[in-house]
Amino acid sequence: MTTQPKYLSDTQMSLRPGILDLGLGHPDPTLLPIEAVKRATAKILDDLGLEALSYGWAAGPGPLADWLRARIRNNEGREVRSGELLITAGNSHALDQLLTLHTQPGDVALVETPTYHLAVRILKDHPLQLVPVPTDDEGPQLDALKQTVTDLKRQGKPPRLLYTVPTFHNPTGCSWSMARRLGMIEVATESGFLIIEDDVYRELAYDAPASPSLWSLAPTGVVARLGSFSKSLSPGLRLGWLTAHASLIEKHTSGGLLDSGGGINQFAAMVVSALCQAGDFDVQVSRFQQAYRERRDALLAALAEHLPTCAVQKPGGGFFVWVVLPDGVRSDALLTRAEACGVSFVPGVKPCWAGGGENAIRLAFSLYAPDELREAARRLGEALIPC
Amino acid sequence: MTTQPKYLSDTQMSLRPGILDLGLGHPDPTLLPIEAVKRATAKILDDLGLEALSYGWAAGPGPLADWLRARIRNNEGREVRSGELLITAGNSHALDQLLTLHTQPGDVALVETPTYHLAVRILKDHPLQLVPVPTDDEGPQLDALKQTVTDLKRQGKPPRLLYTVPTFHNPTGCSWSMARRLGMIEVATESGFLIIEDDVYRELAYDAPASPSLWSLAPTGVVARLGSFSKSLSPGLRLGWLTAHASLIEKHTSGGLLDSGGGINQFAAMVVSALCQAGDFDVQVSRFQQAYRERRDALLAALAEHLPTCAVQKPGGGFFVWVVLPDGVRSDALLTRAEACGVSFVPGVKPCWAGGGENAIRLAFSLYAPDELREAARRLGEALIPC
């Protein structure tokens, strides 16, 4: 087994010595497209350097938008019409801005649970009332969603939005079924709230193409879909995009932030534009898919071997495996023992932000090589035995 | 006279044919440090490419923070202590985030008038109550400031913050006097509100070093100072920094946005880090200073020649000259005639966001070469004659 040093200074990833940290939903740095970024950066600085260094157009560089429009049309079968696309600084920032520009203090935000726990932190940084929507392996439970919306309307608080990660979900790895997708869209359309679709894992599909996005299925204006280059290219570039109704995009492009600073991340956007136009995006996505598929399979096989009493579902894409522990085992107690055995994870109580999740854990298979994942599963099994 | 084409696709700058637009507070693209950015990008991708492409440390890259700390200590004589510095995505975004993380709905924000009109738009995108503080050539008027604070406290609405651009002010080009600086700090300290100091023009000093920043003069915690690479290097990089009390920085580094996405603009931050460490920052600042000084002087001389009836003050730095028109001339009427003569500007009513400013205009001397500025002044004089 070769454990390469993965600690990088000046990055968010601070690995503790001796611990395989499957809590980190990070790409393996050694898989990042450094050569493609080098080529793209050299090209853009040679050809369009003055553009790349000037205040950018509020909606982002036109050539990158054109490339995205063509890709989305081909992959999703829906046309991104004029004014319906915005280049963003990644999904975290796009969510933050959307909340600033699209909500009023006291607005109700429906949020699936479990969900991406750090998106919940971004939501909580805004003066909103968060209301949970329980979610199972197929997606938000439609009866519960409808009842919640009815109750909220009765209280004079119709929901303003719903946050969800429907494809290769964080933390469960599931993709919401077509019935749930259509059901959510129906409720949102009837009730007049916006679905914020966090679609960050779409490109990381390992078995079959990703399910259709909510955005591609819904009437115009019902869904704002957050797409990202963080998982498909590199998180340090801090770049993504948003497809939504032109009036919502216009709230961003005519808002104070972009009016003042111009395109949100002009330099990175111009670099990614050149990278995509050079054909390097597909190459990199294939590289990630191949590596992560192998890692997922290695982890799943090792979990079956070392944690036979746990319930594990095979994710079709993304970064995560959700493990339901045997009855009576609590993830917080397991975490202490696991770290003593040299392995770590995200306890289920974090993504289950409205309660519950004590008996589940989230494992990421993105950061480590297959041998390391097998060793991590072995250590986890060792930690589980005394339970 | 050589008028170079300045229109760049994919940028915020859309010049109208035949119009010299002195309304645009943009750097001249041809002065941007494209070769230095090329060298820095190549170096960082060769040496630290994996760091540059990974999720960054929330506060920004350590080496860039170290470089800034040393520069600030040398230039401002004040130590930036541990935890008191954050790398930002430029002043517009830093202001936006500061408002999200540091204010509550309904909070009162004191805002000088005139001031940077697009900062007012960012402020208005948040659920705050904006209260104007009248400003003259020396800065916010202290008696008015004190009275406003007293009145607000009496109403049970003590102000939460004050936004100001004290050095090479946008739009007037003035720098606030030391008496006003100290007076503002005194009022803020006594009343417990935060001064947000937009310090974006500090490096662009043409006659003498910039006045001490409010941050360097005030007790710790009274001032959050927004610094930027947008004017000193390039706006497309979308990079800046914030010096403030460690508890305020910690609101950012522990907030949802950075917890989720890591360092706000990791790739650009790593590039700028390499550029600064290579010694190219000072070279570029000197280049800007020399070019802009010449442009300022050319514009001032031409204004004296072609607009002898206007009141013009010489700015010691920054991008702008504030022109007070002769009695009875309104800037909106002048704008129509000016554009017919092939020149444009920002009418004073925009920066005078709380009213007034009808008799003043803002001219930027950053974008055009001296010959073009002289021609612009000639056209402006031509437009003024019928008044």
Read off the pLDDT of residues A163-217 as tens digits, 9 standing for 90 and up. Answer: 999 999 999 999 999 999 999 999 999 999 999 999 999 999 999 999 999 999 9
- Reply yes or no on whether the pLDDT at B216 is more than 90: yes
Please tell me the predicted confidence (pLDDT) of residue B137.
94
Which H or E run includes A249?
helix A246-253
**Do residue B265 and residue A33 have CB atoms under 8 angstroms apart?**
no
Residues from chain A that touch B34, judged by Cβ atoms under 8 A, are 45, 49-50, 53
Can you tell me the mean pLDDT for A301-327?
97
Residues from chain B that touch A26, judged by Cβ atoms under 8 A, are 54-55
Q: DSSP letters of A3-69?
A: ------TTBS--PPTT-EETT-----GGGS-HHHHHHHHHHHHHHHHHHHHSPBPTT--HHHHHHHH
Please tell me the predicted confidence (pLDDT) of residue A12.
73
Of the candidates B37, B56, B260, the beta carbon closest to that of A121 is on B260
A244-290 pLDDT tens trace: 999 999 999 999 999 999 999 999 999 999 999 999 999 999 999 99
Residues from chain A that touch B101, judged by Cβ atoms under 8 A, are 125
Give the integer Cα–Cα distance in Å for B307 and B323: 9
The C-alpha of B29 sits at a distance from chain A's nearest C-alpha, in angstroms, of 6
Confidence label for B2 from pLDDT (cuts 50, 70 and 90): very low
- Interface mutation target, options B15, B87, B257, chain A, most CBs of A under 10 Å: B257
Can you tell me the mean pLDDT for A315-334?
96
Confidence label for B204 from pLDDT (cuts 50, 70 and 90): very high
**Do residue A257 and residue B96 have CB atoms under 8 angstroms apart?**
yes
SS3 B170: coil
Distances (CA, A) of B259 to A71, A122, B242, B253: 30, 9, 18, 7
- Reply yes or no on whether the pLDDT at B332 is more than 70: yes
Residues from chain B that touch A11, judged by Cβ atoms under 8 A, are 51, 54-57, 262-263, 266
Contacts (Cβ under 8 Å, ≥6 apart) of A179:
A138
Q: DSSP letters of B312-329?
A: E---SBSSEEEEEPPTT-
Q: Residue B267's closest CA among B243, B236, B242, B246?
A: B236
Exposure class string for A316-341: b at 16+ Cβ within 10 A, else e: bbbbbbbbbbeeebebeebbebbbeb
**Do residue B270 and residue A52 have CB atoms under 8 angstroms apart?**
no
Helices (H), chain B: 34-53, 62-76, 91-102, 117-124, 142-154, 178-191, 214-217, 246-253, 256-261, 266-277, 280-306, 331-340, 370-384
Of the candidates A10, A37, A53, the beta carbon closest to that of B56 is on A10
Please tell me the predicted confidence (pLDDT) of residue B11.
75
Please tell me the predicted confidence (pLDDT) of residue B338.
97
Contacts (Cβ under 8 Å, ≥6 apart) of A18:
A342
The C-alpha of A76 sits at a distance from chain B's nearest C-alpha, in angstroms, of 26
Can you tell me the mean pLDDT for B148-174?
98
Confidence label for A17 from pLDDT (cuts 50, 70 and 90): confident
Give the integer Cα–Cα distance in Å for B299 and B287: 18
Please tell me the predicted confidence (pLDDT) of residue A367.
96
Can you tell me the mean pLDDT for A321-331?
96
Average model confidence (pLDDT) across chain B: 95
Residues A133-139: contacts with CB within 8 Å, 24+ apart?
A: A133/A162, A137/A172, A137/A174, A137/A313, A138/A174, A138/A176, A138/A177, A138/A179, A138/A180, A139/A112, A139/A164, A139/A166, A139/A174, A139/A176, A139/A177, A139/A180, A139/A181, A139/A184
**Do residue A54 and residue B9 have CB atoms under 8 angstroms apart?**
no
**Do residue A261 and residue B90 have CB atoms under 8 angstroms apart?**
yes
Give the integer Cα–Cα distance in Å for A137 and B24: 53
Q: Give the percent of chain A with pLDDT over 70.
A: 97
Residues from chain A that touch B41, judged by Cβ atoms under 8 A, are 41-42, 45
CB contact at 8 A, A116 and A164: no
The C-alpha of B382 sits at a distance from chain A's nearest C-alpha, in angstroms, of 31
Can you tell me the mean pLDDT for B26-40?
96
The C-alpha of A36 sits at a distance from chain B's nearest C-alpha, in angstroms, of 11
Can you tell me the mean pLDDT for A127-153?
98
**Do residue A235 and residue B54 have CB atoms under 8 angstroms apart?**
yes
Please tell me the predicted confidence (pLDDT) of residue A385.
85
Q: What is the pTM of this model?
A: 0.96
**Do residue B53 and residue A9 have CB atoms under 8 angstroms apart?**
no
Please tell me the predicted confidence (pLDDT) of residue A4.
45
**Do residue A12 and residue B56 have CB atoms under 8 angstroms apart?**
yes
The C-alpha of B254 sits at a distance from chain A's nearest C-alpha, in angstroms, of 10
Please tell me the predicted confidence (pLDDT) of residue A5.
44
Please tell me the predicted confidence (pLDDT) of residue A2.
37
- Nearest-CA residue of chain A relative to B58? A12
Can you tell me the mean pLDDT for A45-53?
94
The C-alpha of A259 sits at a distance from chain B's nearest C-alpha, in angstroms, of 7
Please tell me the predicted confidence (pLDDT) of residue B284.
98
Q: Give the percent of chain B with pLDDT over 90.
A: 95
The C-alpha of B346 sits at a distance from chain A's nearest C-alpha, in angstroms, of 14
- Reply yes or no on whether the pLDDT at B14 is more than 90: no
**Do residue A118 and residue B260 have CB atoms under 8 angstroms apart?**
yes
Can you tell me the mean pLDDT for B104-112?
98
Average model confidence (pLDDT) across chain A: 95
- Interface mutation target, options A8, A39, A55, chain B, most CBs of B under 10 Å: A55
Residue B156 is classified by DSSP as T
Q: Helices then strands (H, E): number in chain B? A: 13, 14
Residues from chain A that touch B237, judged by Cβ atoms under 8 A, are 53, 266-267
Cβ contacts from A onto B, under 8 A:
269
